[in-house]
């Protein structure tokens, strides 16, 4: 008996179809979903992608809607497609995979489209504040978890710790704590954390409380 497709498979298949994919998309879908089920993932997994897509769908303010919502949806699906805690070029490799899959499915990759997908995925590297609206939206979506409830934030922090365990990343416990503390402090120093009014109102206050508590716990003996 053939298994029924999951909600993720259905959603991704519809997106590819809407974007005009020309070939059998099942192989590409299974390959992408398989990546998010890799054993070293606990945070950067399908739950994160699903939550990001829900955040995108939930934007109610018409002034903060992305210009290219379907392309942003595709970028969300691919932004963590390649994830190795040992490497610093995951976003670059994820963007490359996205463009390669688009090409292999015979999607039109006019210069503007390929530049957009690359730009949106690279924005999730969080190296520089984005200047355009869609860049600000994707960055805020990717950081939404910082503003979840305190209990969920701690659970998600444990998931990050799992991914950066010595087994998966090569970092010692002390190296992980130092790196995690630096990341949390960097996020907390941003004024504001969220670049759009919509996500600022939704998550800023709780994110600051969570980051402060996260730093306190990392400083505890």
Annotate 82-105 with DSSP letters as a single string. S--TT-S-HHHHHHHHHHHHHHHT
pLDDT at 140 over 80: yes
Residues 136 and 154 in one domain: no
Query: Residue 124: which domain range?
Result: 1-142
From 114, 142, 170, give the residue that closes a domain.
142
Evaluate if residue 123 carries a pLDDT over 60.
yes
Q: Is residue 82 located within the same domain as residue 10?
A: yes
| Spatial separation of the C-alpha atoms in residues 212 and 153, rounded to whole Å | 12
Q: Are residues 81 and 138 in the same domain?
A: yes
Whether 64 and 168 share a structural domain: no
- Are residues 78 and 98 in contact, defined by beta-carbon separation less than 8 angstroms? yes
- Do 187 and 211 touch, CB atoms closer than 8 A? yes
The answer to whether residues 121 and 168 belong to one domain is no
| 156, 214 contact by CB (below 8 A) | no
What are the Cα distances from residue 47, in Å, to 41, 51, 221?
11, 6, 32
Which of 142, 175, 210 is where one domain is finished? 142
Dihedral over Cα of 161, 49, 68, 29: its sign = positive
Q: Select from 116, 142, 168 the last residue of a domain.
A: 142
Q: Are residues 3 and 87 in the same domain?
A: yes
Average pLDDT over residues 25-43: 96
Cβ-Cβ contacts under 8 Å for 54 (sequence gap 6 or more)? none
Q: Kindly state whether residues 32 and 100 are assigned to the same domain.
A: yes
Mark whether 112 and 159 lie in a shared domain: no
Residues 109 and 174 in one domain: no
Q: Could you report the per-residue pLDDT of 65-107, keeping only the tens digit for each?
A: 899 999 999 999 999 999 999 999 999 999 999 999 998 888 8
Q: What is the pTM of this model?
A: 0.95
Regarding whether 180 and 134 lie in a shared domain, the answer is no
Number of domain units in the chain = 2
């Amino acid at each position: 008996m053939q298994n029924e497709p999951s909600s993720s498979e259905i959603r991704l298949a519809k997106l590819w179809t809407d974007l005009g994919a020309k070939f059998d998309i099942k192989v590409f879908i299974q390959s992408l979903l398989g990546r998010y089920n890799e054993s070293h993932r606990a945070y950067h997994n399908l739950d994160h992608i699903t939550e990001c897509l829900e955040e995108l769908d939930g934007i109610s303010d018409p002034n903060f809607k992305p210009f290219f919502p379907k392309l942003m949806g595709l970028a969300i699906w691919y932004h963590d497609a390649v994830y190795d805690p040992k490497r610093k070029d995951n976003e670059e490799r994820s963007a490359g995979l996205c463009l390669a899959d688009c090409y292999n499915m015979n999607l039109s990759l006019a210069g503007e489209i390929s530049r957009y997908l690359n730009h949106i995925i690279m924005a999730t590297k969080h190296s520089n504040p984005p200047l355009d609206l869609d860049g600000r939206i994707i960055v805020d979506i990717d950081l939404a978890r910082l503003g979840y409830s305190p209990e969920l934030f701690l659970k998600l922090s444990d998931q990050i710790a799992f991914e950066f365990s010595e087994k998966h990343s090569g970092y010692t416990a002390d190296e992980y704590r130092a790196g995690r503390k630096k990341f949390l402090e960097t996020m907390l120093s941003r004024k504001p954390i969220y670049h759009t009014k919509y996500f600022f109102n939704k998550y800023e206050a709780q994110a600051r409380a969570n980051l402060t508590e996260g730093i306190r716990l990392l400083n505890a003996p």
